[in-house]
Amino acid sequence: MVAVFNKELLSWYLITLKLKETVEAGIQNLQSPTAAARSIEYPSEQEQYHLVKQQQQQRSDLLQIVISEDRNVDSVEEAEAKSPEPDWVINIRERLEQARQEDVAGAWGKLSIYRVPQCLREGDEKAYIPQTVSLGPYHRGKKRLRNMERHKWRALYHVLKRTRQDVKLYLDSVKELEEKAAACYEGQIGLGSNEFVEMMVLDGCFVLELFRASLKDSSNLAIRETIPFSQCVDRCTRFNVT
């Protein structure tokens, strides 16, 4: 590939070289017997103009050659870059990109509540499925656990009654932690934003009341006066928190 470093320098160099050749030819003519009285003739302005135009045309042709060669190289590189990769290589790149995004987001570092793999559940399914009450999104709304939902609402009512606070305070507080709480669960939770916040408030207050009712010195608490809820506490000492 031809490279032109300084176009103007090349042009003036060629002009100087031509003038030098003309001067040397004139000196040789002076030294010859037939041209003893002949004076040195320098190129006229018109000749110099044509000479410069000629050199510029040569320079333009040279640049076109260089540009043409560069374009040919670029075309080869573009063709190589656009050559399609095999599907299995593309699939590997996509999986690596997904892993990179998860690593940047730090998703695995936030997880603390996992789904039990199917291989561990086989043969002992009941050991990993709540039998009485569901806490969290994984088993929420299942038919056999719906009877306990009314006790969750009763527990929330007792909390609000005891603290004399409005439920909006609880909803707003949990709303601020929604993203952090949702990131603790592995996989899709299958709940909308409002439903998830409601679940967190409802299940959270239920667990708090459950702990209070289970204390040894809680016999005088008003919550103990409701027999169904006391029975609920006795039954819930055996449930799986999932």
CB contact at 8 A, 152 and 202: yes
Q: Would you state the structure tokens that stand for residue 182, as one six-digit string?
A: 């949702």
Residue 16 pLDDT greater than 80, yes or no: no
Residue 156 pLDDT greater than 90, yes or no: yes
Q: 155-194 in b/e burial notation, b at 16+ Cβ within 10 A?
A: bbebbeeeeeeeeeebeeebeeeeeebbbebeeebebeee
Which residue from 153, 131, 133, 151 is spatially nearest to 201, judged by alpha carbons? 153
* pLDDT for the residue 8: 59
* pLDDT for the residue 1: 45
Give pTM, 2 decimals.
Answer: 0.50
Tell me which of 128 and 239 has the higher pLDDT: 128
Q: What pLDDT digit, counting tens, does each position of 41-62 carry?
A: 555 666 666 666 676 666 666 5
User: DSSP label at 84?
Assistant: P
Cα gap 191→89, rounded to integer Å: 36
Is residue 113 classed as helix, strand or coil in its secondary structure? strand
- Which residue do the tokens 């667990």 mark? 207
Output the CA–CA distances (angstroms, integers) from residue 187 to 111, 130, 135, 206, in the order listed.
Answer: 10, 19, 16, 25
The mean predicted confidence, pLDDT, of the chain is 73
Residue 130 pLDDT greater than 80, yes or no: yes
